[in-house]
Amino acid sequence: MSAVTRKNRDGRKRARLISGKAGSLLRIVFSLAITFFGLLLVTFLIGRVLPIDPVLAAVGDRAPQDVYDRVREEMGLNLPLWQQFFIYISNVVQGDFGQSVLTANPVIEDIKRVFPATLELATLATFIGVVLGIPAGVFAAINKGKWPDHVVRVIGLAGYSMPIFWLGLMGLLVFYMKLDWVAGPGRLDAFYIDFIEPTTGLMLIDTLIEGDMDLFWNAVSHIILPASILAYFSLAYIARMTRSFMLEQLSQEYILTARVKGISEHRIIWRHALGNVMVPLVTVIALSYANLLEGSVLTEIIFAWPGLGLYITNSLLNADMNAVLGGTVVVGAVFIGVNMLSDVLYRLLDPRARR
Amino acid sequence: MRKLIAGLVMGTALATMPLAAQAETPKNALVMAFAIDDIITLDPAQIFEFSGAEYAGNTYDRLIGFDNDDVSKIHGVIAESWDVSEDGKTFTFKIRDGIKFASGNDLTAEDAAFSLQRVILLDQSPAFILGQFGFTPENVKDKIRAVDDSTLVMEVDKPYAPSFVLYCLTAGVGAVVDKEEVLAHEVDGDLGHEWLKTNYAGSGPFKLNKWTAGESLSLTANDDYWDGAPEMKRVIIRNVKEAAAQQLLLQKGDIDIARNLEADQLAAVKDDANIKLLSKGKGALWYLGLSQKNEYLSNPKVREALKYLVDYKGISETILAGRSQIHQGFLPEGFLGAYNENPYSLDIEKAKSLLAEAGLADGFSVTMDTRNTTSIMAMAQSIQATWAQAGINLEIIPGDGKQTLTKYRARQHDIYIGRWGPDYQDPHTNASTFAWNPDNSDDATAKPLAWRNAWDAGDLTAQTDAATLERDDAKRAAMYVDLQKKVLADGPFVIMFQETEIASMRGNVNNFVLGPSFDNNYYRFVTKD
């Protein structure tokens, strides 16, 4: 017992020594570095134990043996595993993530190209999910056991259990093929592909920068369907969680007190109860956003959407390790970033956390 | 809250407004959906992938080419004419006058010599196609040289069959690159390789506009093309992996051609009056590789029995649905010396009696490594069902493409269901892999398909080598027929189908050309009504 207290006291003393903001920044940087190192190590090892020959992606199946052997050596695969990893890490520290075998580009360039596509899709999907999901969840909670509740729950369950592959194809068939409301697969009509030079990589913004409204609306009509389909999933999740958080809040005593005080039901639900629900809800939304930012492989395949999910999957299936590791770093950074963002939001939403 | 509801209403109105302007593709542009994510390089000295080959075939000229409908007719492209010396070892090409590269530079014999030398010096995957004629990085500058601006001389090390040498020059490695342009981008003596991987330096009917890996490839017409400028001023290829998505794009008219439709989609577009299909037999073969390391499969009776246990007709008609024809010889139809008889058909009783002769009347268990794509899995399941009727228990091991291939290349499979595409138009390309295996030990340097299946090809190795030196084409063809019959009778391969490529296109697209391999699928003749 006393040993533990002493340890704590020592720790606190040391913490005070690395005082102030610089210290906490240092600690954050250190823990980030460790996190990324671990992430890379694990991914690297998994990549290397996969029963896939990485040389095949570079030379193809029909290359003669001498070419195969030479390329294998060039790729450094003859070295012991720890040495390969060491070389990789020391390059990464210098900002060099290497070259992708599949695209012949530096991995950084590839990621600059594919990540915005995913970012755009995920952000829009999350936006739709939040805007529709929260009211739906609240609505279901205040009508608990009545038909609106059942409707929301059925929609939520369907959204959660329907295969996205099927949903995507059906969406295309109905809204693109039959009704002609939206455009088909791809981020722009094929004919427009060359007309746009990526500045941010976000098609909706790049087309606006170009100032071409035709292109902008074309981009909108392309993104709306895949975004809605991804949104359906996050909507289902957000609505379900909102409902249960709301039910919990509505049964609390302060709600009863408020009702006794004669505050309008509208205000009780949307201000008091929902206000308290927002805090845990931020975590839910952040997690679902981070998941979408990893890239949804199946959606990307069906909608010919050249995003991060497809890039990492394709690279993994070809054992293109530079690309896989680069992608992993991005996914890790996204998770950490979104977590930090939700911490900030926490503080804004919950007065107790501000202290 | 009210604002929120108003926003929702507006959002819904926006979402239901028809955003997609109904636009046909422009009259002078060709838009295609094609799974092009196999492209890993645009350098003709390195390209060895299907869609990469198609790119090179449309953007680079070669010395010589062949007639797509009758490959025995070889014609000049950049070379106007050629001579073969009496001893068969010196080839002299006369280079056509007045051809210009996209850069504006004149194309001379020096460019042609440089391009061929470059293939050997860079020594990438397809380099052996030229390297097999005795060229090495040390001697190639002497053996392949420009005598003057319009004369190219090439000296091979043995008196090979001229058809063998010429067919190899029609392959992608025969593409002529712009020496000046390429060397202007040289880094550390790489002959411009890093640069050319993502750039262009050719003289073909189209030039590269932009390649975005995994996303799109766009080409622009070369209006000064010596053999007539293409009518399509732009060609845009979008990488669409999903066949169903390709079908929708095509039926909607957002693309002109869909390249990768499968059985389901083909059945669906067949009845669409706006869509027509173009098909062409390709060189790729579907086959089963039977590892001779397996105690059952090394029995000749068992190998023969298995050849009677494939429902060739059923698979071809229902699973591959028009995308293949039955073919059992190792040379695809259309090749010099192809043997087009198909002696085996599904015959359970015959197979059973062969198994009984092998002492395996009760059958046995064996595994098959299978790529997890729809049509390959379906083929494997059909085979599993017919084998079961003869008492053979086939366990299918599904895996991703590169994963099953890695196992196959390491000789760790029992059975591998695979697809083999020829590297060039000469029969030696397949003979040297199905019927040739100079060293069957685990650490051999040459690893043809015969080696992967641990099959000692015996005399066939020497016969294959001899066929490359036979200068009489008729005799040469007869040698290959003989080789095919022997592999058919005893080899560890159940060769089943020859692939047919089907391009599905809008009714207004004319003259799209599919050739026997991907590097002779041409866009330059396309017109649109």
Please tell me what DSSP assigns to residue B133: T
Instruction: Give the pLDDT confidence score for residue B64 in this predicted structure.
Output: 95
**Domain span at A32:** 3-93
Flag whether A101 is in a domain: no
Q: 3-class SS at A107?
A: helix
> Between chains, do A61 and B22 touch, taking CB under 8 Å as contact?
no
Please tell me what DSSP assigns to residue B516: S
Single pTM value for the model: 0.88
The helix (run of H) or strand (run of E) holding residue B479 is helix B473-490
Set of chain A residues whose Cβ sits within 8 Å of the Cβ of B257:
none
Residue of A nearest to B198 (CA): A104
Flag whether A341 is in a domain: yes
Q: Are residues A198 and A87 in the same domain?
A: no
Cα A310 to Cα B35: distance, rounded to the nearest angstrom: 13
B-contacting residues of A 78-97, CB under 8 Å?
Answer: none
B-contacting residues of A 326-355, CB under 8 Å?
Answer: none
Flag whether A172 is in a domain: yes
Instruction: Give the pLDDT confidence score for residue B23 in this predicted structure.
Output: 54
Q: Are residues A222 and A278 in the same domain?
A: yes
| Beta-bridge mates of residue B76 | B64
Q: Are residues A129 and A215 in the same domain?
A: yes
B-contacting residues of A 108-137, CB under 8 Å?
Answer: 110, 113-114, 131-132, 135
Q: 3-class SS at B146?
A: strand
Instruction: Give the pLDDT confidence score for residue B8 in this predicted structure.
Output: 46
The tokens for B97 are 């006058």
Please tell me what DSSP assigns to residue A18: S
Cα B447 to Cα B468: distance, rounded to the nearest angstrom: 19
> Between chains, do B238 and A63 touch, taking CB under 8 Å as contact?
no
CA-based nearest distance B524→chain A, Å: 18
CA-based nearest distance A12→chain B, Å: 48
Cα B291 to Cα A337: distance, rounded to the nearest angstrom: 52
Q: In chain A, how many domains are there?
A: 2
Residue of A nearest to B256 (CA): A190
Set of chain A residues whose Cβ sits within 8 Å of the Cβ of B248:
172-173, 176-177, 184-185
**Is B134 within 8 Å of B156 (Cβ atoms)?**
yes
Which residue in the set B4, B49, B125 is minimally distant from A135, CB to CB? B4
Give DSSP secondary structure letters for A191-249.
GGGGG---SSS-HHHHHHHHT-HHHHHHHHHHHHHHHHHHHHHHHHHHHHHHHHHHHHH
Instruction: Give the pLDDT confidence score for residue B3 in this predicted structure.
Output: 46
Instruction: Give the pLDDT confidence score for residue B12 in this predicted structure.
Output: 47
**Is A308 within 8 Å of A115 (Cβ atoms)?**
yes
Least confident range of A213-217, A271-275, B498-502 = A271-275
Instruction: Give the pLDDT confidence score for residue B343 in this predicted structure.
Output: 95
Cα B195 to Cα A104: distance, rounded to the nearest angstrom: 10
> How many residue pairs from chains A and B have C-beta atoms closer than 8 A?
180
Q: Are residues A249 and A299 in the same domain?
A: yes
The tokens for B222 are 């070369």
State CA B285 to chain mean position distance. Answer: 10
Buried b (16+ CB within 10 A) or exposed e, B349-358: ebbbbbbeeb
Flag whether A31 is in a domain: yes
CA-based nearest distance A278→chain B, Å: 16
For the segment A126-131, the average pLDDT, to the nearest whole number, is 93
Which residue in the set A103, A190, A270 is minimally distant from B31, CB to CB? A190
Which of B330, B335, B337, B331 has its CA nearest to residue B475? B337
Instruction: Give the pLDDT confidence score for residue A12 in this predicted structure.
Output: 53
CB atoms within 10 A of CB B441: 8
Which residue in the set B26, B241, B447 is minimally distant from A65, CB to CB? B447
Q: Are residues A164 and A205 in the same domain?
A: yes
| Beta-bridge mates of residue B505 | B257, B276
Residue of A nearest to B241 (CA): A301
CA-based nearest distance A183→chain B, Å: 5
- Domain limit, last residue, from A93, A123, A145: A93
Instruction: Give the pLDDT confidence score for residue B4 in this predicted structure.
Output: 46
> Between chains, do B238 and A190 touch, taking CB under 8 Å as contact?
yes
Instruction: Give the pLDDT confidence score for residue B164 in this predicted structure.
Output: 95
Long-range pairs of A161-167 with CB within 8 A, sequence gap ≥ 24: A164/A229, A164/A230, A164/A233, A164/A296, A164/A298, A164/A299, A165/A298, A165/A302, A167/A229, A167/A232
**Is B427 within 8 Å of B331 (Cβ atoms)?**
yes
Which residue in the set B213, B252, B407 is minimally distant from A176, CB to CB? B252
Flag whether A99 is in a domain: no
pLDDT in tens, A153-165: 888 888 778 888 8
CA-based nearest distance A48→chain B, Å: 13
CA-based nearest distance B79→chain A, Å: 28
Q: Are residues A74 and A111 in the same domain?
A: no
Band of residue A334 on the pLDDT scale cut at 50, 70, 90: confident
The helix (run of H) or strand (run of E) holding residue B398 is strand B393-399
**Is B196 within 8 Å of B222 (Cβ atoms)?**
no
Upper half-sphere CA count for residue A49 (Cβ side, 13 Å): 5
The tokens for B195 are 């640069």
The helix (run of H) or strand (run of E) holding residue B80 is strand B79-84
Instruction: Give the pLDDT confidence score for residue A9 in this predicted structure.
Output: 54
CA-based nearest distance A262→chain B, Å: 21
Residue of B nearest to A266 (CA): B1
pLDDT in tens, A26-40: 888 888 888 888 888
Set of chain B residues whose Cβ sits within 8 Å of the Cβ of A266:
1
Instruction: Give the pLDDT confidence score for residue B21 in this predicted structure.
Output: 45
Instruction: Give the pLDDT confidence score for residue A8 in this predicted structure.
Output: 54
CA-based nearest distance B245→chain A, Å: 6
Cα A215 to Cα A208: distance, rounded to the nearest angstrom: 8
Which residue in the set B15, B33, B234 is minimally distant from A224, CB to CB? B15
Set of chain B residues whose Cβ sits within 8 Å of the Cβ of A218:
21
Residue of A nearest to B234 (CA): A191
Q: Is the dihedral of CA B151, B156, B159, B165 positive or negative?
A: negative
- Domain limit, last residue, from A29, A59, A93: A93
- Which of the residues in chain B have pLDDT under 70? 1-23
Q: Are residues A17 and A163 in the same domain?
A: no
> Is pLDDT above 50 for A267?
yes
Residue of B nearest to A166 (CA): B244
- Domain limit, last residue, from A62, A93, A124: A93
Q: 3-class SS at B469?
A: coil
Upper half-sphere CA count for residue A40 (Cβ side, 13 Å): 25
Contacts for A135 with CB less than 8 Å, ≥ 6 apart: B4
Which of B180, B177, B228 has its CA nearest to residue B203? B177
Flag whether A159 is in a domain: yes
Upper half-sphere CA count for residue B133 (Cβ side, 13 Å): 28
Instruction: Give the pLDDT confidence score for residue A4 in this predicted structure.
Output: 46
Please tell me what DSSP assigns to residue B153: E
Alpha helices for chain A (secondary structure H): 2-17, 20-49, 54-59, 65-74, 81-93, 107-142, 147-161, 164-171, 203-210, 213-250, 253-261, 265-267, 274-293, 297-302, 308-317, 321-349, 351-354
- φ and ψ at B372, to 5 degrees? -85, 50
Contacts for A83 with CB less than 8 Å, ≥ 6 apart: none
The tokens for B364 are 């046995």
Q: Are residues A300 and A185 in the same domain?
A: yes
Q: Are residues A62 and A154 in the same domain?
A: no
> Between chains, do A63 and B218 touch, taking CB under 8 Å as contact?
no
Residue of A nearest to B412 (CA): A51
Cα A65 to Cα B452: distance, rounded to the nearest angstrom: 13
Set of chain A residues whose Cβ sits within 8 Å of the Cβ of B127:
64, 67
Which of B432, B441, B431, B351 has its CA nearest to residue B388? B351
Which of B206, B182, B204 has its CA nearest to residue B195? B182
Which residue in the set A57, A65, A301 is minimally distant from B241, CB to CB? A301
Q: Are residues A27 and A139 in the same domain?
A: no
| Beta-bridge mates of residue B498 | B285, B325
Q: Are residues A196 and A149 in the same domain?
A: yes
Instruction: Give the pLDDT confidence score for residue B351 in this predicted structure.
Output: 95
Set of chain A residues whose Cβ sits within 8 Å of the Cβ of B11:
131
Q: Are residues A300 and A188 in the same domain?
A: yes
Band of residue A355 on the pLDDT scale cut at 50, 70, 90: low
Flag whether A38 is in a domain: yes
> Between chains, do A56 and B402 touch, taking CB under 8 Å as contact?
yes
Flag whether A98 is in a domain: no
In order of A318, B14, B412, the CA distances from A50 in angstroms are: 10, 47, 15
